[in-house]
Amino acid sequence: MGPQVLLLPGAGLVLEQVQLCGQIVVLLVRLAALGAPCPACGRWSEAFHSSYQRSIADLPIADRQVVVQLQVRRFRCLTKACSRQTFAEQVPLLVDRYARRTRRLRSDFEAIGLMLGGRPGSRLSARQKKPTSRMTLLRLIRALPEPPVETPSILGVDEFAFRRGRRYGTILIDGSGHQIVDLLEDPSADALVSWLSEHPGTEVICRDRDGVYARAARRGAPTAMQVVDRWHIVHNLADALERLAVRVLAPLHKQRSADEMSMLDNRRTTAMLSTLSRISNSERTSPHRDPRPAQQRSNNCCNRRPTPPQSHHRSEVR
C-alpha cells in the first residue's frame, strides 16, 4: 500500500508526487491511458496535441485541505469529417467537465447544505478543512434534480406562507411518513384539483375546516375520505371556548366591579363618620373650652386692643 490509496480507485489515475504546501496537501496526478476517445465521433486517438493543469479541490486528508493537480492532455481527432479537431481527456469518475471540485466533495457539500443550509453549513465545512461559501452550498442545492413525487395514501393539505401576509400557497404532506410531498404556489382550489388529477391514488385527505380545500378534494379525489386534522380541531375548540368565556364572564366581571365599588364607598363613609364622631367627642370633653358662643369669641378677639410693650430698664430714682 502506497500513496496511490489517496486517489479514487478505478479512475485510472497515477499519483506522481505529493507535496505539502503549508496546511494544504497537493497531489500531482495524471491519467494512465496513452490516449482517449473523441467525445464527438468516439474514435480512439493517441495523437498528442498539448497539455494543461486543472486544480481540483478534494476531501481533506489528516485534517489538511487537499488540492489535486490533474495533468490533462489534448489529442487530435484522426477523423477528418469530425467536428472536433482536438479534444481533452476527461476523468468522469473523479470530476465533471469544467468543475473545480471532485464528485465526492460535491456530494459532501450537497449533504451538508441539505441538512444545515447556507451559513451553518459554511461554518461546518470550514471547520472540516474544506472551506466553501454559503452561496455555493445554496447553488448546489438548487441544482439538484427534484425527486420523483409518489402519491401518498394519506395526504395532508394546508395553507403555506411563502411570505407571511403577502404570498400564500398550498403545502402537501405525506401523512404516513410526515414528509413534504409538494408545494403549490397557487392557494386556490383549482391548483389542488389539478394536482390530485395528476396523482391519483389518494385514499385519505387530511385538511382544515375551510370550504376551499373541501370542494377541491371532492372534485379532484371524489372517492377519498376527508378528515379534519387534530390541530385545527383543538385550535377551533380553543377559539370557541375563549369567545364563550368572554360572552359569559363579561357581565359577571361588571357585577363584581360594581359590588367592589359599592363596598369601597361604604368603607369610606364609615371611616368618615367615625372620624367626625371622634372630633365631636374631643371637643365636648375639652377642659379649657370657652362656654361663650363661637361668634362672640371671635368678635372679642378682633376688638381687643394691643398691649404696649413694657420696658425692661429700671427708671432712675432721683
CA dihedral of residues 127, 132, 135, 136 (deg, nearest 10): -130
Q: Are residues 215 and 138 in the same domain?
A: no
**pLDDT for the residue 108:** 94
**Max CA pair span of the chain:** 166
**pLDDT for the residue 215:** 87
Q: Are residues 135 and 174 in the same domain?
A: no
Residue 317 — very low, low, confident or very high, per pLDDT cuts 50/70/90? very low
- Evaluate whether residue 279 is within a structural domain: no
- Evaluate whether residue 243 is within a structural domain: no
Last residue of a domain, one of 86, 115, 145: 145
Question: pLDDT tens digit string along 287-303?
Answer: 555 555 555 555 555 55
Give the containing element (helix H, strand E) for 26. Answer: strand 24-31
- Evaluate whether residue 318 is within a structural domain: no
- What 3-state class would DSSP assign to 50? strand
- Evaluate whether residue 28 is within a structural domain: yes
Cell numbers standing for residue 43: 474514435
- CATH number, residue 182: 3.30.420.10
- Exposed, middle or buried, 25 (CB in 10 Å: 0-12/13-18/19+)? buried
Q: Are residues 93 and 109 in the same domain?
A: no
Percent of the chain with pLDDT over 90: 29
Q: Are residues 21 and 60 in the same domain?
A: yes
Q: Are residues 92 and 19 in the same domain?
A: yes
Q: Are residues 138 and 189 in the same domain?
A: no
Please compute Rg for the chain using Cα positions. Answer: 47
Cell numbers standing for residue 263: 363596598
**pLDDT for the residue 316:** 47
pTM summary value: 0.57
Q: Span 86-97, mean pLDDT?
A: 91
- Evaluate whether residue 20 is within a structural domain: yes
Question: pLDDT tens digit string along 41-78?
Answer: 989 999 999 999 999 999 998 889 999 999 999 999 99
10 vs 21: CA distance, rounded Å:
27
Nearest-10 crossing angle of helices 103-116, 134-143: 100
HEC string of 228-263 equals ECHHHHHHHHHHHHHHHHHHHHHHHHHHHHHHHHHH
Residue 104 — very low, low, confident or very high, per pLDDT cuts 50/70/90? very high
Give the containing element (helix H, strand E) for 25. Answer: strand 24-31
**pLDDT for the residue 318:** 41
Which residue range is the domain that position 186 belongs to? Answer: 154-228
Residue 315 — very low, low, confident or very high, per pLDDT cuts 50/70/90? very low
Total of domains in the chain: 3
- Evaluate whether residue 76 is within a structural domain: yes
Q: Are residues 140 and 159 in the same domain?
A: no
Q: Are residues 78 and 2 in the same domain?
A: yes
Q: Report the first-to-last Cα separation within the chain, whole angstroms.
A: 148
Last residue of a domain, one of 204, 228, 252: 228
Q: Are residues 208 and 123 in the same domain?
A: no
Backbone dihedral angles phi then psi of residue 109, each to the nearest 5 degrees: -65, -40
CA dihedral of residues 138, 139, 145, 146 (deg, nearest 10): 40
**Mean pLDDT: which of 153-162, 247-256, 303-312 is highest?**
153-162
Q: Which range, of 58-67, 151-160, 262-271, averages the lowest pLDDT?
A: 262-271
Question: pLDDT tens digit string along 165-215?
Answer: 788 888 888 888 888 888 888 888 888 888 888 888 888 888 887 788 888
Q: Are residues 34 and 61 in the same domain?
A: yes
Percent of the chain with pLDDT over 70: 88
**pLDDT for the residue 71:** 93
Q: Are residues 106 and 58 in the same domain?
A: no
Last residue of a domain, one of 167, 198, 228: 228
Q: Are residues 80 and 3 in the same domain?
A: yes
- Evaluate whether residue 251 is within a structural domain: no
- Evaluate whether residue 293 is within a structural domain: no
DSSP state of 4: G
Q: Span 136-141, mean pLDDT?
A: 93
